[in-house]
Amino acid sequence: MDVLISSATMCISPKNPFLVRSARPGSLILPKPRSPANSVRFHRVAAVAAARATAIDLSDPEWKLKYQRDFEERFNIPHITDAFPDAEAIPSTFCLKMRSPTYINNKDRVLLKVINYSSPASAGAVCIDPDCTWIEQWVQRAGPRENIYFRPEDVKAAIVTCGGLCPGLNDVIRLIVITLEIYGVKNIVGIPFGYRGFSDKNLPEIPLSRKVVQNIHLSGGSLLGVSRGGPTVTEIVDSMEERGINMLFVLGGNGTHAGANAIHNECVKRRMKVAVVGVPKTIDNDILHMDKTFGFDTAVEEAQRAINSAYIEAHSAYHGIGVVKLMGRSSGFIAMQASLASGQVDICLIPEVPFNFHGPDGVLKHLNYLIETKGSAVVCVAEGAGQSFLENTNAKDASGNKVLGDIGVHIQQETKKYFKENGVAADVKYIDPTYMIRAVRANASDGILCTVLGQNAVHGAFAGYSGITVGIINNHYAYLPIPEVIAYDKSVDPNSRMWHRCLTSTGQPDFL
């Protein structure tokens, strides 16, 4: 569970079960937004989640039942019949050439959490109460339904890709289009350059068909283009009304999904029979509840190449130090996984784990030790790490995301200075492979994930769901209500086995 509810007087942090904070009885603890620039956005979303979650009084003998009911309500996915109770269901038009498809029953569920922790002290434990009481948490299974709520001939489907690039965008677009055609949809368009394409009159819709998308997965990027910022939700929905779009597939991260949810709500308010379905795209892997998001595997694989280059440079130089900065605004998943996978990293720094540069336990002292003992060293740092050491410019990008200082450059400069001051030779090389990684095409495992997610997005829309997103959970596929996946950024748990494995691999000490 991501939001922890207090016991009579205490509550335990969901991210760090060892951290017990006092709280008012019955109060609800929501994680603090990580980035100040995003705080308005995440406070807003968190408030939605908070409003929907019932504070649980653990002294109530019925608390478990109430908790379960609350969970079911929160993870219930909006359906077109909520606003249109008389909406007609027709037999599915999804048909395969060779055989008739098997369907998902609406009552099928996927288990969200699969470990029954016996104690909050267990590594990575996420507990609801101090006894770590086991509560089954079921979410909706994704897939084709026997009955659908849209006649294919009445559908105008649109696809939009927002935010930064991520490997696999084209794979998802491709499968959405192909699946829509299998249902019988003829009117499919791409909205160019993210949400901007809804308002910029100079950007015409891109007609899509199997023929157009057949080979797009062979290259990275997005056939449709991406952007940050753009029109207001009102303008987007006005544009959808004008264009007659009644199915919208939104590929993007937390910002895009906040937009998609707002679009869904606005459509409900205007009584438009529209399905808005998200497919989470975040190379940083910071969307809640999912095993991973598409593009992440590819990013880790590609990041290893940069780490390997940094290693070779460092290893070939006299007292060489290689610094690689990887993506991860507020979550260090790519840096952690790539460090683990490569086995060539001596120091991995992520936003979730504080560290000092200077002082007897600082990064620089350890680098000095590595140079003395090994002769070279490799540092892998996530872009959001160590921001407190950098000047805060308060600058924001077009989407309102905080523009971060370059921690890689900072490490390079500080390291050079430190070794110079100590009269020790050091050859410091810095690599920032961000845009090289983001632009590659998806690897095989991401390609498959994209295929499944794209197909399921279309099944969800035809099944009449809206305001939902699709994800892989414990190797199964599920539909989730958007507010629950973007309540805050998923981040690396410093108490998790994975982070501890990373520390084992690098051999680094605590830099505090």
Ligand X SMILES: O=P(O)(O)OC[C@H]1O[C@](O)(COP(=O)(O)O)[C@@H](O)[C@@H]1O
Number of H helices, E strands in the chain: 15, 19
Total site size for ligand X, rule CB under 6 A: 12
Tokens coding 377: 């060293």
Residue (14 or 164) nearer to ligand X, CB? 164
Of 256, 387, 412, 469, the one binding ligand ADP by CB under 6 A: 256
259 interface partner picked from Mg ion, ligand ADP, ligand X, none, CB below 5 to 8 A per type: ligand ADP
3-state SS class at 186: coil
Stretch that binds ligand ADP, among 200-208, 228-236, 270-278, 298-306 (CB under 6 A): 228-236
CB of 296 to ligand ADP, least distance (A): 13
d(CA 249, CA 169): 12
d(CA 376, CA 367): 9
Q: Does 329 bind ligand X (CB under 6 A)?
A: yes
Strands 90-91 and 109-111: unpaired
Cα dihedral sign, 502-504-507-510: positive
Q: Which amino acid is at 5?
A: I
Q: Which residue is nearest to ligand X (CB)?
A: 164
Residue (253 or 460) nearer to ligand X, CB? 253
CB atoms within 10 A of CB 109: 17
CB of 11 to ligand X, least distance (A): 30
List binders of ligand ADP among 133-192 (CB under 6 A).
162-164
Tokens coding 96: 């395969």
CB of 44 to Mg ion, least distance (A): 14
CB of 346 to ligand ADP, least distance (A): 31
3-state SS class at 185: coil
Of 41, 79, 402, 438, the one binding ligand ADP by CB under 6 A: 41
CB of 464 to Mg ion, least distance (A): 28
d(CA 438, CA 347): 23
284 interface partner picked from Mg ion, ligand ADP, ligand X, none, CB below 5 to 8 A per type: ligand X
Helix (H) or strand (E) holding 256, with range, is helix 254-269
Q: Does 229 bind ligand ADP (CB under 6 A)?
A: yes
SS (H, E, C) 33-93: CCCHHHHHHHHHHHHHHHHHCCCCCCCCCCHHHHHHHHHHHHCCCCEHHHHCCCCCCEECC
Residue (259 or 460) nearer to ligand ADP, CB? 259
Q: Does 330 bind ligand X (CB under 6 A)?
A: no
List binders of ligand ADP among 396-415 (CB under 6 A).
399, 401
CB of 490 to ligand X, least distance (A): 12
Q: Does 464 bind ligand ADP (CB under 6 A)?
A: no
- Roughly how many angstroms between the first and final C-alpha of the chain, as a whole number? 30
CB of 42 to ligand ADP, least distance (A): 9
| Binding site listing for ATP | 164, 228-229, 253-256
Stretch that binds ligand X, among 130-138, 277-285, 310-318, 425-433 (CB under 6 A): 277-285
Q: Which one is catalytic: 2, 129, 284, 286?
A: 284
List binders of ligand ADP among 258-287 (CB under 6 A).
258-259, 262, 282
Binding mask 279-318 for ligand X (x = CB under 6 A): ---xxx----------------------------------
CB under 8 Å, gap of 24 or more: what pairs does 82-90 form?
82/268, 83/268, 83/271, 83/273, 84/271, 84/273, 87/149, 87/273, 87/464, 88/149, 89/147, 89/148, 89/149, 89/464, 90/147, 90/148, 90/149, 90/151
Binding mask 231-250 for ligand ADP (x = CB under 6 A): --x-----------------
Total site size for ligand ADP, rule CB under 6 A: 21
CB of 393 to ligand ADP, least distance (A): 18
Cα dihedral sign, 145-150-154-160: negative
d(CA 8, CA 59): 7
Tokens coding 381: 């740092």
Distances (CA, A) of 144 to 274, 418, 460, 491: 18, 60, 7, 32
Of 383, 414, 484, 489, the one binding ligand X by CB under 6 A: 383
Does residue 39 come out as left (phi exceeding 0), alpha (psi in the -120 to 50 range) or beta?
A: alpha
**How long, in residues, is the chain?**
512
Residues lying near Mg ion in the complex (CB under 5 A): 253-255
| Binding site listing | 164, 228-229, 253-256, 282-284, 327-329, 383, 435-438
Q: Does 380 bind ligand X (CB under 6 A)?
A: no
Estimate the crossing angle of helix 333-342 against helix 497-506, to 10 degrees: 50
Phi, psi of 138 (to 5 degrees): -105, 140
Of 220, 253, 295, 405, the one binding ligand ADP by CB under 6 A: 253
Residue (108 or 397) nearer to ligand X, CB? 397
Q: Among this protein's residues, is 284 annotated catalytic?
A: yes
d(CA 383, CA 420): 25
464 interface partner picked from Mg ion, ligand X, ligand ADP, none, CB below 5 to 8 A per type: none
Q: Which residues bind ligand X (CB under 6 A)?
A: 163-164, 253, 282-284, 327-329, 383, 397, 438
Q: Which residues bind ligand ADP (CB under 6 A)?
A: 41, 162-164, 194-195, 228-230, 233, 252-256, 258-259, 262, 282, 399, 401
Q: Active-site residue numbers?
A: 284
